[in-house]
A and B are shown apart, each in its own frame.
Chain A
């Protein structure tokens, strides 16, 4: 890396460490077949904000023609890492790997504004990785949300005093649920009926606070399918947000913690209900490709057993003693399930088992809703444009329920529904739908 006068100014070339490599980016034949699959290209129509263009920029940096400077960073930042381009790409370009490496470089060698760095370090390095600190923050937030303080603050316009990103955060903060799922860490939930499998459940860091009910539903549904569900203590944040932000060293620490915790449990599978976490959990080996062999091997063993909950249930054959749910539903593919994990039919198959469910395919269900981890916080304008396009399609589907497979998507879509003309529409995880269908069977046909 040296200072030159390449376009964009500043340093050119990549510094030491992981970076986009010729072996990977040369697979791109610049055919452009990914363009219309890319949410940011669809919104902006700019080559710079397309997969092909982003790859071209990474190459130009490697060539010394473009600097790792404001322009490059802006376009790489605006990428959702939704990986829709990977599904579209006939040439097998592993875009996620490329963009994550590019972000690693930006994180190392590009100086962001001080406020950004501070917030990032605070949230991604000081809070998320530490379950106890996260829980304390969660309790504070829960108090703020329930005491009425939130309403006062939102109404008062006080938020306008805060920097834009922080202000955007506040109304987006997920509702904290009571009780936190963290109370369940260390528990072993027995299978209903004979035990067919022993599974480890990865509960997720924020999900344990804000999606405690979804986690409970997941455990119940797994148990109803003959799974003994172990929720090991000591597990924590999966590192997905860190990987997406280029904080690779921090992500490796988190990965190792989870790998150790689940190593000796004798699990047939390790299960998550968060597609965003799942894709990174399955890709742990990528984090250790240039690290100790032992860590790489352990990561491989871990990832081999990793399953999305919908994938797992579809594999083992679903217990279909469901009650009837007379509903018109539509399914929004979670990007990290469809594009990163290539799971398309499992969630649809599961819902098809529930009598009464009328599944309407959502047009463009494979396009991101704008949630993308903390993307909606960092790029509120793009996120809300994507959400608006999404809600138009939802309206066309005339569905009563919107089903998806990832907590982040649930938050984003719920925000979309709240602001829509049909705020009574429900947004739910596939697992919650199954859970309700089991429930209404045991409540002997009770209609909901």
Chain B
């Protein structure tokens, strides 16, 4: 009988958060700290000829750092080393850091920043992903001979095609990014504390930039006010800047971005253009798929190759395609580099395939639900990479659940409306999957580790590099550890993610914290339980007796891939992900045909989570992710003019409020995954994939137009409505 799995545990981080005691980076009291700021480029591309320092300013009152002051390598270490920490000569995007300043207070900092005059020679820049001169990465996935099917379409079959575009999206964590860095200790070691998702990424970046060993760079996570991917790679930039300033100023430096700056310079979702075509037999059976995926990577590589990989691997949708050819490229432009945001490439391609399925349903005269059901991957099927789906394939279960909950399978989707007046109601549908954990051999290469330490009083300390960013890591790890140990939740304590103490569990990304790191934690706890032994006495009594008898209470376990998993990075064949989460959404919208405004009233979602270890947490993840998806679908506009973000303040960077949010109806479906802790699998990103296609599908149901771009803003909807009216007229 399980005590903690499936039952909601009080969040360990909860009381401090509701009482205002949780310490975020801006709350840290650091006596003697100076404040840091960044001198930024005002052009999207150019040459930095020099930096002039106003002689009227007393430069002895502040500290300044330029590219020449970087003691190690002038790079932001991530995938490719193409991004400098500070521009030495070539400027590749608006807002690129040119110099750093630290001052005793905000006022002096503002004066100093204004007194630095960069001399810049502007160069022609590229902002069009279709005209980019440079490709960061290309990927091809192929199965069977899709080309042959399209060249020689079988009799009775039908080819359906479309081009779909998605704009960028801002993560909009409510806490802006920030770090406090301390000056180097006498042994050369450096400490930073901040708001982040991946302490060991920051550690590696610091080591490279400062020319020290990784162990000499200590990274400590503070309470973090949201991330959603936005605090995956950028904290490495900010931490290095802060550490550099602390080194030059010889005192602690606080570098916290204001909202305008955060919106203008931190990475957002990759804009995309996806061309897709598919051939279907007359009964709706999918025969072949072709997709051409193009992502704008912005000025530097950052995480783009892996974002592209996930995008390409989700372009097939959760469907059977006997033949498929998917090509993808991520290209360089002079936009601010794009980066990680929940979904990580998949929402862009999911939008394309789901819109195409709606179009195919219309053209084939088959109900959109029926078309999905007919083509849905089932247990035993193979994906376009040749992965045979064996475990935890909840595809049919989520389809059945959403149909039961909404009756969408009987809704006359796309039928002409009888309503009079401009307000039209519509229902829309999406079916989607999301690979949990890193792509391909990622987890195997990373081998994320978790340690447990038995404390003298018998409690167990969990040491993991996974961060609490709101999603509930602390409650989840407490529940997993207590359950696997057979101990009380009160017997479990969690170490702060501090690279000086915790092992590298891998980054807190890719829907992997519960499934992958939680799985390693469960295995470590089972090992400790075995060492201590079961018995009638309480856990703490047994643990103390074990320690008194000379027992070793320290356990470290690393991730072991599921037996038989295989992946070929060259051919992109094999097991692309350890397992997939499956989900289906139905959205209800009201469209005002006079204004083009869309109100998303309700969103139903059925989600196969493997096992809901903490139902309240997983529901919170699903609702929160779904609202981000709905916001992106029709409301959240992010654009750039001459490479400069046009929504650099909350007055223009719009995200949904309580009044905009739909009412959610979440059905949790549990098809346990034997490779995850107690049957759980990753879910963090899945809810981001389906909201936009469901909303666009509902707009189509309401109005008859076929929105092909996200966000479907009132302007874009009106354009389509006008085109429809003109067509009807002609």
Q: State whether these chains interact.
A: no
Binding site for B on A (CB under 8 A): none
Binding site for A on B (CB under 8 A): none
